[in-house]
Structures are given as C-alpha cells and as structure tokens.
Chains A and B, each alone.
Chain A
Amino acid sequence: MSSADVTGDRHIQEPDPAKGDLAPEREGPRDTGMDDASLHRWLERTWRTPSGIFGALSSVDHKVIARRYLITAFVFLCLGGLNAVAMRIQLSGPQRGLIGPDLYNQLFTMHGVTMMFLFAVPIVQATGIYLVPLMVGTRNIAFPRLNAFSYWIYVSGGAFAWVSFALNMAPDVGWFAYVPLSGPEFASGKRADVWAQMITYTEVSSLAVAVATIVTVFKQRAPGMSLDKIPLYVWAMLVTSFVVVFAMPAVMITSTFLILDRLVGTHIFNPAEGGDALLFQHLFWFFGHPEVYIIFLPATGMVSSIIPAFARRPTFGHLGLVLSLFAVGLLSFGLWVHHMFATGLPKLGASFFTASSMMIAIPNGVQIFCWLATLWDGRPVIRTPLLFVFGFFFIFVIGGLTGVMLASVPLDLQVHDTYFVVAHFHYVLIGGSVFPLLGAAYFWFPKISGRMMSERLGRWHFWLAFIGFNAAFFPMHLVGLWGMPRRVYTYPAELGWGNINLFISAGALLFFLSFVLFTFNLVHGALKGTSAGNNPWDAGTLEWATSSPPPSYNFARIPVVTHIEPLWAEREALPVATGLRVDARELLISTVAEAYPDIREKSATPSIWPLLAALAVGGTFLYSIFTPWAIVWGAAPIAITLIGWFWPKGDPEDQE
C-alpha cells in the first residue's frame, strides 16, 4: 500500500517521493504530466483483458464480466418467458390437454426460479457491476476476481437448473418450495434437491457481488464525491447490496435445512418428529420479501438516473430519495408475515404486519412524488428511456396499490394464492423492475456498445410491451377475484374462466413479441446503430465523461467531483486527480464520508483461478444433491483452487 500523493483540483503536481513509503527507484511511471497518447498506451497495456480464450476466461474487467452477466441473464429471461408462453397456451381454454400436471408444475417452478434467481437479481446486479465503478469514477470494481468468480458460479447454477429441466428433473414444487411438499416424504427423486442447491449457487454469487459493490461505493469513489454527491443509482445499489447481505443468508439456511432433511435425515421441518412446517415459511419469507426490494431498489436507481437526463434538471428531493431508499431497505425486513396471513397466525400479531406493510408505502410514495416533482419543470424530452419510465409509473403504481390491498389481513384471505396475487406481483416486478430495466437498456446501451438503438423501433417496442403487459396481467386481478387459484394446470369449463384466460394468453403472446422486437433492436443497434459519442443524452453523471464504450481503464485520469451532476457543473473539462502509476493496476482509495484521496491500492490482475475455483465450488454443490460426503470430497479441490488464487505474486506490496 502506498499513501496517496494524488493531487486534486486543477493543478498538476509532481509526485513527492518523500511521501511514498517505497523507495522512489522502485516506483514505476505515473500519469502526472504524461501526454494523452502515451498515457493511453500505458494504461491500455496495463488494464486490458489478455487476448485469446485463456485471456477471456481470466478476465477481471468489471465491464467484461458485467456484459457476460447481462447477456446470460437476458438468455434466462427468454427461457423463463418461453416457460410462461407454454403455460399460457395450456391455460388459454378450460381442460386443455396440451401439458400435463407433471410438466406444468415444472414449468411454473422453472419460470419463477429463472425469473427471480437467474434473471432479475443477476441483471440488476450486473447493471451495477457495469455502472457503479464508472459512476464513482474508478478503474475497476473492488475484488475483481471475486466478481469474476461470482459470474462463473452464477452460470453454473443456471446451467445446473436448466440441464435438470432438460433431463425432466426440474423442481416442481413452486419457487418457494414449501415443506412438506418439497420434503423427503412427498418429493421423491432429485427435483426438490435441484431447487435447494440452485438457490445456493445464485446466493453465493449475489453475495459476492454485493460485497464487491459495497466496498467499491465506500472506498473507491472519485475524490470529492462526498456522501451528498453520490448519484442516486449508486445509493440504490449500495442499499440493495446491504439488503442482499442480510437477506440471502436466510434463504441459504432454508435451503440447507431442506437439504439436510432430505439427504441427512434431520427432521427440522417434520411435524411428526417435533419439527415445524411453518418454520420454513418464516425463514423463506424473511429472505423472500426483501428479495422483492433487491429487484426493485436498483430499478428506482435507474429511474432516478433517467428522469433528470430528460427532465433536464437534477432530481427533486435528492435527500428524501436517499432516505427513502434506506427506509425501504430497512422496512423490507419487517413485512415477511404478510405472505403468511392464510396460515392462521394469531390475529393481533398479523395486524402488526398489516401496519408495517402499509408503512412501506410511505417511503415508496416519497420516491414517486419526488420523481413527479422532478418532471414538473416543464416538458420533458420524450425519448424511449423516458417512455419506459412513464410505463413504470402507470404499472408500478397499480402494483403498489394492490400491494396495499394485500397488506390488509382480511382482504388478503380472499385474494391470497389466487390470480389476483399473480397479477399484483407481475405489476410490481415487471412494472417496478422490468420497465425501468428496459428504459435503462435504451439509456445505457450507447455507453456499453458505443452505438444508439433505434428510437422508432424503441417506441414500437414500448407500446407493444405496454399494451401486451396490461392485456395479459390486468384481467388476472379479475379472474383471481372470481376464484381462480394460482398454480393450477387446468380449470373446469363451468367456472366461466375460459374467455378471460384466452384474452390473457393473447396479451401474454403480445408481450412476448415485444421482447422479440427488443432483441432485434439490440442486435440491430449493436451492428448498425449510429455512433453515440461520449454523452448522447447530455446527462450529468460520471459514466458519461468517458468514451463509449469505455476503455479498459475507464478513465485516463481520475475525475474530481465538485457537484452531484458533475458533467453539468463542469461543462468545459472535468478537474482530474493525478499521481497513479500507469505500469501497474492502481486504484485511488478515498475516505468513506468525504471521499478525500487516501491511499493508492493495487487492483487484481487477470487470473484463471476464479474460474477454476467456481468449477470446484459448483461441482461440490452439484455432487451434494447426491451425498452429504460431497462437502468432504469437494473441500480438497476448493482448497487447491483458493490457494492458487491467493498465491503471493512477488509484488513489493505482498511482501510487506
């Protein structure tokens, strides 16, 4: 570690050798005073991902990892969408015989598991992996190898689930896999084990990303980016990461207890032996409710990034929005029982959870009102990203209000586990997260690819998605109130749900087609889109200060932040800090609150070990659905790969 002798402000200063704790002759060249061309050559040589397949597999560049994450999550979105289309065809009429219960139960379980664990959480985290380091003005995410490791674990978990599905052994117990249905007595075969272990893969990977994100936000912010100047998107990712850190262990315990019951013969959830089936639900929903906010909070960050760019002003009520994020993150841990009102809990206790569930609507309301107030400055520039934000308001507010209905204990008893709830959570998750994500895709695609997506196709995409979504999901409220429970593979004709279900299926197909159009627009934009330039929307945050796509080192010189929207405050040129080495991967570490430049720190170089470690860990998880001894046999390869990963490199820093 070297103490920082980085200079802030606009003055470029020669490094003072006396301040470093290494002998000056061992110090490599620094960026101070270097001309732009040679600076670029140096940094590119130092930071680039090595070429070739081996190089690609060793990459630790946050942008490369994030791109892989985004593409993989998009593939899983399409697969989960195909699950949904198959289900909607089966449900388009009463007593259809296209899909039997055995396959249908796998389909809806895979749909839920894929959308929650393989699409929604990974894609919001991936967006963070890409954007957070750029927005805080650093060169790579913290713990880049851990980040690479998380991707490999995620991919192997996803492949594990989908290969199981191809082998007709996908979980068929629903995405929350209640015991005893998923327990040893009623779920024979390996299907429920696949559910339990797939959770473990994805939780490990998202915990790793959360830790990396938190450290990046706390310690790697550009000089001057004190707490009051952190962009809202970064705040959202920070709060989300903390929610991940506190929520995910609960579900890992749940799935591990389940595996123990199934594989080792414990009776944790077995009422006949003094266990309790309801314990599973408490543990699961203690994770499950925050999970919704893990998906939703990053989307609020995206909305907070898109609105100012098109309303042409900073967000109204910045402090209120930040505090709302914290309030939502905190309160999200106090609502889990509203998923369990029908289990017959004591009425007074349940009423407290009505109150807490209602309460979370207040910070969410604050967010909505602040965004609306931001837009009230006059005609916003209507481009595709903002259209999707408008769609977000339209849909998410409905979902939020039906959420208020579900919070009421007595009302919930009529609609719980019906299509009303299916409608509600699709309004919340698609409206609250997918629409902002689609807006974000149009908004940041130019940064990632260097090209623009088609605005005309974008508008078509929006209207198709908007109409398709509402046609598919709005009638579900009704059919739920008419008595249709969720998770039924068919229904009798005499209940009169046929027509409305046919309508829903048609809407679902339309919604699916909108994604086909989106895919076309993505590919078309990547190949033929017009060149974007650094800042096509004239937005104010740091990611727009660098080229599109950004170079491997993100910023040639670390920017110094003077305002919450630095690019609007410094129209001419951003002030920069210099003094970092260019021949080694060096980051500027700053203080947590004020973001004073503090020390220079090494950032990890590319390595194949994260991949090998992920293979060892993933193999152990896979093996462990067959025998508990997998933990013992798997420990050896995991230990070997971790030793390889952390083997000292002979850097002077390592020798201290």
Chain B
Amino acid sequence: MKRLAFMALAPFCVLLLQGCAGWQSALDPKGPAAGELAWLIWFFTALCAVVWVLVMIALAAPLVMRSRPGDEPLLLNAGAERRKMRVVVSAVGLTAIILIGLTLLSFFANRTLAAIGSDAALTIRVTGHQWWWEVRYENATPSRILTTANEVHIPAGEPVRLLLTSTDVIHSFWIPSLAGKLDLIPGHMNVLDIKADKPGVYRGQCAEFCGAQHANMGTFIIAEPRSKFDAWLNDQLQPAGAPASGEAKAGADLFLKRPCVMCHRIGGTPAGGTVAPDLTHIASRKTLAAGTLTMSRGNLAAWIADPQGIKPGSHMPVADLNGDELNAIVAYLEGLK
C-alpha cells in the first residue's frame, strides 16, 4: 500500500520539474509586482509544506506507537491526557503566531504593491467587452488619444496606470508574469499599476467567467524601450494608409458597403463603429480575435469567413462575401499596418 502511494506521488515530481514554463506564468515574474507575489507564493508554500509535513508525522505516529494497555475505552491515563493537553495548546498557540505573521506579511506585501505605480506617467484605459479588450491611451490633447484593441504596448521599465472598466459583463485583467488580476466591472473603475522590467511580450487572459468565449479572450502586454514605444504610438495615431493595390482599393470600398462598417472603425475613412475592435492598424497587431489566431493573411480570411466556427458565440457575424470579395477585404486589411 505504501509503495502505491509513492507511485502516485512520483509523477508530481516530474510535473514540478517541468517547471514554470510559459509566458503566462505567475511563477515566472517579469515585473516588480509579480516578483513580489512570486516570492510571497513561494514563502507561503514553503511554510505550509512544513506545517503539512508536521501534521502528517503526527498522524503517522500512532501507527508505530505501542498500544495503551487494556481494552477499556473509558480507562484513560490522567497524566498522558495532561501531557496531550499541553501539546495541543502549544500547537494551537504556534498556529496563531504563524497566522498573525502571515497576516502582517500579506499586509506589507500589499503596501509594496500599492507603491509600484505611484509615479505612473502613462494612463491607459482598458474596457472589457465580450470577448475582446478595448485599449485607450489617455491624453490631455484629444488628437493624441489612441484607441486600439487587445494588445497593450507599454514602455519597459516605467510604471503604467491601467484604468479598468467594462461596458457589458464582468471581466478580469490578468497578466500573470507582471501583476495580479483585477476585475473590470460595469459601473466601477478599478486602477491597476503595472511595470515590466524588461522589453518582452507578456500574455494574459480574462480571468472572470464572462460567457461563451471566456476561454478565447487573450491579451498581450508588449513592453518596448521608450524610444520604440514613442515611435509606435506616433505611428498608431496616424490615420489608415490608402489602399496600395487595386484589389485592396476594392476591399476598402467593400468594407464600407458591407456589415463590417456597422461595428468597426478605420481611422481616416467613414467607418466609425465603436462596438468592435478598431481596425485602423490591425495588421500591425500580432494576433486576431483577442489572441485566438496569429496575424496572417490566411487567418484573416478564415476569421472573416467563419467567425462562428473559430469563436462560437462571438459577436462577429458572418458577412455574406464571395471568394473575390473576401480576398479583396483581406488584401485591404492586410495593408493596414
């Protein structure tokens, strides 16, 4: 029986070795908040493991103890009972001390986290939608306000303030390698300060169940050096470029004649819908449909042709397009760098 138990535990060790792989892991911190939290997680885990092992030893002890003489259940040794009472009282006291320590620890960790974003220069408003993220770079100058979707570019090494809210149901914004999660609640505004130590791409996804496509509501924080970030921001503030080829030109016309225009915005064109992601620079993004597909000509075509097959239940309707029309629209969108 004991061997069986060991056999059961062995695979866990293998899994542990597989470790904290991935770009969406709380155990692989890339920013000060996640770093503080990873430390906290390991500290709590280690302490809890010690407590658990002690309890298991106490549980296993009677299995090897000598039995109390006699078979009379009510005949107890008063001295042994007193000794037990002392052990139990000390164990309870120790538990209380540990818990007070952990409470204080968690309180101070919370203060550390709160201090991270106190001098944030950049404010980004993230609005949750079923099932994508609207990302708006706030600025005092209206012409410098940028609206994009799903991918949040930030300057590396600088704290950034995220204002989180929602217009439909509750979502939760969570980039495990940078910070803990915070909910996006309609009628409420939450503030999450994040900072990425180094340039990189950090994945996250919605962490509060939000309906049919909760599973496919990914987001990316893309941290870049300040100069690269500024250049990106300036590019994104430009209106969409004119279609480069004849096919793309046809695609641009089709976009305005078909249902696309009802929901999407493309800067510099009459398309001004705001209930779906802004497509002004869609081809500059890494993914489509909130992290569901990587950006490519083929995936663009697939997504437009069969959104309900790729993301069942999503609010992107099937547009009635023939092959040529589909190619034209894809050619146009592909040029929106």
Interfacial residues of chain B within 69-111, with CB under 8 A of chain A in the complex: 71, 73-74, 76, 80-81, 84-85, 87-88, 91-92, 95-96, 99-100, 102-103, 105-107, 109-110
- CB of A379 within 8 A of CB of B65, answer yes
Q: Would you call the interface of chain A mostly helix, strand, loop, or mixed?
A: helix
Interfacial residues of chain B within 122-169, with CB under 8 A of chain A in the complex: 130, 164, 168-169
CB distance from A41 to the nearest CB of B (A): 36
> When the two chains form the complex, which single residue of B25, B55, B73, B88 contacts A308, counting CB atoms closer than 8 Å?
B73
- CB of B180 within 8 A of CB of A481, answer no
**A362 to B96 CA separation, bound complex (whole angstroms):** 6
- CB of B106 within 8 A of CB of A410, answer yes
* Chain A hits for B181, CB < 8 A: 342, 413-414, 416-417
* Chain A hits for B121, CB < 8 A: none
CB distance from B170 to the nearest CB of A (A): 6
Select the residue from A344, A393, A487, A500 with max chain B CB neighbours within 10 A.
Answer: A344
Given A408-B109, A483-B176, A496-B21: A401 and B212 interface contact (C-beta under 8 Å): no
Given A101-B213, A463-B4, A485-B205: A365 and B95 interface contact (C-beta under 8 Å): yes
Is A82's CB within 8 Å of the partner chain B? no
Please classify how large the interface on chain B is, using the bins under 10, 10 to 19, 20 to 34, 35 or more. Answer: 35 or more
**A474 to B14 CA separation, bound complex (whole angstroms):** 13
**A500 to B68 CA separation, bound complex (whole angstroms):** 46
* Chain B hits for A185, CB < 8 A: 168
Closest residue of chain A to B70, judged by CB?
A: A312
**A271 to B204 CA separation, bound complex (whole angstroms):** 27
Kindly specify which of A233-241, A296-304, A366-374, A437-445 makes contact with the partner chain.
Answer: A366-374
**A360-390 contact mask (Cβ, 8 Å, vs B): 1 or 0:** 0110011011101101111110100000001
Is B44's CB within 8 Å of the partner chain A? yes
CB distance from A469 to the nearest CB of B (A): 10
- CB of A314 within 8 A of CB of B52, answer no
**A316 to B73 CA separation, bound complex (whole angstroms):** 12
- CB of B103 within 8 A of CB of A358, answer yes
- CB of A373 within 8 A of CB of B87, answer yes
Is A17's CB within 8 Å of the partner chain B? no
- CB of A181 within 8 A of CB of B169, answer yes
- CB of A463 within 8 A of CB of B44, answer no
**A563 to B73 CA separation, bound complex (whole angstroms):** 13
* Chain B hits for A482, CB < 8 A: 20-22, 24-27, 176
* Chain A hits for B99, CB < 8 A: 358-359, 361-362, 404
Given A366-B92, A376-B62: A499 and B18 interface contact (C-beta under 8 Å): yes
* Chain B hits for A101, CB < 8 A: 212-215, 312-313
- CB of A344 within 8 A of CB of B185, answer yes
Kindly specify which of B33-41, B222-230, B246-254 makes contact with the partner chain.
Answer: B33-41
CB distance from B318 to the nearest CB of A (A): 17
Closest residue of chain A to B4, judged by CB?
A: A463
Given A362-B95, A413-B182, A482-B27: A398 and B67 interface contact (C-beta under 8 Å): no
Interfacial residues of chain A within 450-505, with CB under 8 A of chain B in the complex: 459, 463, 466-467, 470-471, 474-475, 478, 481-483, 485-492, 495-497, 499-500, 503
Kindly specify which of B186-194, B274-282, B323-331 makes contact with the partner chain.
Answer: B186-194
Is B232's CB within 8 Å of the partner chain A? no
- CB of B208 within 8 A of CB of A180, answer no
Closest residue of chain A to B34, judged by CB?
A: A414
Is B283's CB within 8 Å of the partner chain A? no
> When the two chains form the complex, which single residue of B8, B55, B71, B164 contacts A397, counting CB atoms closer than 8 Å?
B55
- CB of B172 within 8 A of CB of A342, answer yes
> When the two chains form the complex, which single residue of A271, A415, A470, A488 contacts B214, counting CB atoms closer than 8 Å?
A488
**A405 to B43 CA separation, bound complex (whole angstroms):** 10
* Chain A hits for B58, CB < 8 A: 372, 376
Given A373-B88, A413-B182, A482-B22: A379 and B170 interface contact (C-beta under 8 Å): no
* Chain A hits for B26, CB < 8 A: 414-415, 481-483
Is A411's CB within 8 Å of the partner chain B? yes
Is B305's CB within 8 Å of the partner chain A? no
Given A100-B312, A180-B170: A402 and B15 interface contact (C-beta under 8 Å): no
Closest residue of chain A to B61, judged by CB?
A: A376
Given A410-B110, A471-B11, A482-B20: A379 and B67 interface contact (C-beta under 8 Å): yes
> When the two chains form the complex, which single residue of B36, B212, B216 contacts A410, counting CB atoms closer than 8 Å?
B36
- CB of B91 within 8 A of CB of A351, answer no
Is A568's CB within 8 Å of the partner chain B? yes
**A35-65 contact mask (Cβ, 8 Å, vs B): 1 or 0:** 0000000000000000000000000000000
**A277 to B171 CA separation, bound complex (whole angstroms):** 12
Is B231's CB within 8 Å of the partner chain A? no
- CB of B190 within 8 A of CB of A404, answer no
- CB of A483 within 8 A of CB of B88, answer no
Is B51's CB within 8 Å of the partner chain A? yes
Interfacial residues of chain A within 78-133, with CB under 8 A of chain B in the complex: 100-102, 105
**A487 to B107 CA separation, bound complex (whole angstroms):** 30
> When the two chains form the complex, which single residue of B8, B15, B209 contacts A174, counting CB atoms closer than 8 Å?
B209
* Chain A hits for B180, CB < 8 A: 342, 410, 412-414, 416
Given A102-B313, A178-B170, A271-B187: A355 and B91 interface contact (C-beta under 8 Å): no
**A395-430 contact mask (Cβ, 8 Å, vs B): 1 or 0:** 001100110110111111111111000000000000
Is A569's CB within 8 Å of the partner chain B? yes
**B1-27 contact mask (Cβ, 8 Å, vs A): 1 or 0:** 100110111011001101011101111
- CB of B65 within 8 A of CB of A408, answer no
Closest residue of chain B to A420, judged by CB?
A: B26
Is A354's CB within 8 Å of the partner chain B? yes
Is A550's CB within 8 Å of the partner chain B? no
- CB of B190 within 8 A of CB of A344, answer yes
Is B120's CB within 8 Å of the partner chain A? no
* Chain B hits for A378, CB < 8 A: 62, 65-68
* Chain A hits for B233, CB < 8 A: none
CB distance from B181 to the nearest CB of A (A): 5
**A276 to B4 CA separation, bound complex (whole angstroms):** 52
* Chain A hits for B169, CB < 8 A: 178, 180-181, 186
Apart from A316-B84, A407-B106, A563-B74, what are 11 other A-B pairs with CB-CB below 8 Å? A180-B186, A181-B169, A361-B95, A365-B91, A365-B92, A372-B59, A373-B87, A379-B65, A379-B67, A408-B109, A492-B218
* 13 A/B residue pairs, CB under 8 Å, sorted by A: A173-B209, A186-B130, A372-B55, A397-B52, A404-B48, A408-B106, A410-B180, A411-B106, A417-B207, A466-B5, A490-B215, A500-B15, A565-B74
Please list the residues of chain B having a beta carbon within 8 angstroms of any beta carbon in chain A: 1, 4-5, 7-9, 11-12, 15-16, 18, 20-22, 24-27, 34, 36-37, 40-41, 44-45, 48, 51-52, 55-56, 58-59, 61-63, 65-68, 71, 73-74, 76, 80-81, 84-85, 87-88, 91-92, 95-96, 99-100, 102-103, 105-107, 109-110, 113-114, 130, 164, 168-170, 172, 174, 176, 179-183, 185-188, 190-191, 203-216, 218, 291, 312-313
